[in-house]
Amino acid sequence: MRKTVLLIILIIATILPSFSTGYDTIIIKSDDSSERINRDLDSLLSTWYVKLAVKNASEKFTGDTSVLIYPDSLYRDRLSKINSVIQLPYNNIIKNHIHVYTVRQREKFCAVLGLMDYYFPMFEDVFDSYGLPAELKYMAIIESALNPNAVNSRSHATGLWQFMYSTGRMYGLTINSVVDERRDPMKSTVAAAKYIRDLYKIYNDWMLVIAAYNCGPGNVNKAIRRSGNKKDYWEIYYRLPRETRGYIPQYIAAVYGVTYAREHGLNPLPLNIPVAVDTIMVNKDIHLAQISEVMGIPLGELRALNPQYRTGLVPGSSKPLALTLPMTHLGDFIDLNDTIRRYKPDVYLNKETQIADPTKSSYLPADVKGKTKLIYTVQEGDNLGFISDWYRVSLSDIRYWNNIYRNTIRIGQKLVVYVDPSKSEYFSKISTMTFAEKQQMTGKTVPANTSAKTVLAGSYDTEGDYIVHTVRNGDTIWDIVKMYDNVTSTQVLSLNNISDPGKIKIGQKLKIKKKS
């Protein structure tokens, strides 16, 4: 029997690809993460410079295609010659990702190579100033395929470095309906450098840093605990989320693809991005369309250079903001500044056109295509926590769909909520329900005449700089933080010295810091 078991293990080991790690051999099961690479590369086709370059490029811009695939020994040898602080092993999964870049999606990868000339010097300068290895720049290829407008349809992570709303805000990025600095190449790169630096202070290991950047330090910490406190990437491999397990092979494939592009007959797509650009601070509102029409610069080019301005409006009157222009146009902009501002201000700077109204919006985020849009009118006592529970969507989704900053909403405000079409009839009744009926939908029973305002008022007192919340039947830490503005579960747990969030008790008093 023992010989039979050993024989089966040996057969499986020879069939499945594996990482040679210097520790135990890691068996890699089937992987579909190349689909993410395909989606990211496809998204490049919608960007202004790439669309223009592909239209004008000759059919042979990808170079010599006589040799596309090499033997494993050559891939392995080439990876071993790349100087890197990050281990670059080789296996069939990595080879599959290499083939995505160098064979199956080679034309689109050439667009990535073309974009590198614009973005990589910026990444290298920022990373060098923060003492980070320059090769971490390749992470941006995996995150966004160097598309500053990339949006993850599932998590809503946005920009070159794919920041979630909460993480972007944590690192000082402005995110609202007009300005989204996750799309700002420079500011998002600085934020990414700070985040990566903070992760390295936690793990002191670049593999774990890359993994944590992808799935969050919480998931990496859980994987470490569940692996017996082992702190080597390959030893916690099976405990990591599936997407993160594919992330390192994608990273290695990207490093290889860039380093040996010419050996695979890959040439950078000739993009007409101005190498020499400069920024000028504006302290009054101005619209990119005003600049475009007065100066004759294509609007698509201005939007590509300033992707953080979602509507084209640069709201400089709120605070000085940076406008990026080709160096050749900077002097003209200064000379024509007054003319530009006087050009159609009633059209481009009309306050009514600047107010986001989700009920009239024609913009449909990629993640809600195919879903049914419902409108909920905010009632007295409502908060986003209640509403997210009733519609079974996340708080971040509601904020994103409605361009809401923090958790502030007002009575009578119209909120857009996207739901599964098969359940739209069920959720459409919520607007006509009483508070008690809506709570009953989520399994929380309250007296029929109880309002949201009554529930909140009866659950807490004030004490100095803190709100004291009394835990009620059915409360969880995550339910509680939804009731208050500007507070996270981590802050509540830390303030109340709670190590296990699942062990709060009915009647327990929890301190919550008041909104400053």
**CATH fold label, 458-513:** Membrane-bound Lytic Murein Transglycosylase D; Chain A (3.10.350)
Q: Is the pLDDT confidence value at 302 over 90?
A: yes
- Tell me the three state secondary structure of residue 212: helix
- Tell me the three state secondary structure of residue 500: coil
**Amino acid (one-letter) located at 174:** T
Rounded CA-CA distance 479/482 in Å is: 5
What are the residues whose beta carbons fall under 8 Å from the beta carbon of 434, sequence distance 6 or more? 448
Residue with tokens 């993994």: 211
Tokens read off for 421 = 């079409």
Percent of the chain with pLDDT strictly greater than 90: 36
CA angle 407, 410, 416 (to 5 degrees): 75
Tell me: the pLDDT tens digits for 169-193? 999 999 988 899 999 999 999 999 9
Q: What's the confidence (pLDDT) of residue 407?
A: 60
Q: What is the mean pLDDT of the chain?
A: 80
Q: Is the pLDDT confidence value at 99 over 70?
A: yes
Tell me: the pLDDT tens digits for 125-144? 999 999 999 999 999 999 99
Torsion over CA: 154, 156, 159, 165 (sign): negative
Torsions phi, psi for 211 (to 5 deg): -65, -45
**CATH fold label, 366-450:** Membrane-bound Lytic Murein Transglycosylase D; Chain A (3.10.350)
Q: What's the confidence (pLDDT) of residue 370?
A: 73
Q: At what angle do helices 106-129 and 34-43 cross, to 10 degrees?
A: 90
Same fold for the domain at 366-450 and the one at 458-513? Answer: yes
Q: Is the pLDDT confidence value at 305 over 60?
A: yes
List the one residue out of 171, 187, 170 whose CA is nearest residue 179.
187
Tell me: the pLDDT tens digits for 145-168? 999 998 886 778 899 999 998 899
Q: What's the confidence (pLDDT) of residue 275?
A: 74
Domain boundaries, the chain: 35-264, 277-354, 366-450, 458-513
Q: What's the confidence (pLDDT) of residue 121?
A: 93
- Does residue 256 or residue 215 have the better pLDDT? 256
Q: Is the pLDDT confidence value at 21 over 60?
A: no
Q: What's the confidence (pLDDT) of residue 209?
A: 94
- Tell me the three state secondary structure of residue 281: strand
Residue with tokens 């057969």: 11
CATH number (1.20.200.10, 1.10.530.10, 2.120.10.90, 3.40.50.720) of 35-264 reads 1.10.530.10
Tell me: the pLDDT tens digits for 403-439? 665 566 778 888 989 988 888 888 888 988 888 788 8
Confidence of residue 507 (pLDDT cuts 50, 70, 90): confident
Rounded CA-CA distance 382/408 in Å is: 10
Torsion of CA 75, 80, 81, 86, to 10 degrees: 120
Q: What's the confidence (pLDDT) of residue 382?
A: 81
Percent of the chain with pLDDT strictly greater than 70: 78
Residue-wise DSSP of 429-448: TGGGS-HHHHHHHTT----T
Confidence of residue 3 (pLDDT cuts 50, 70, 90): very low
Residue with tokens 């069920």: 426
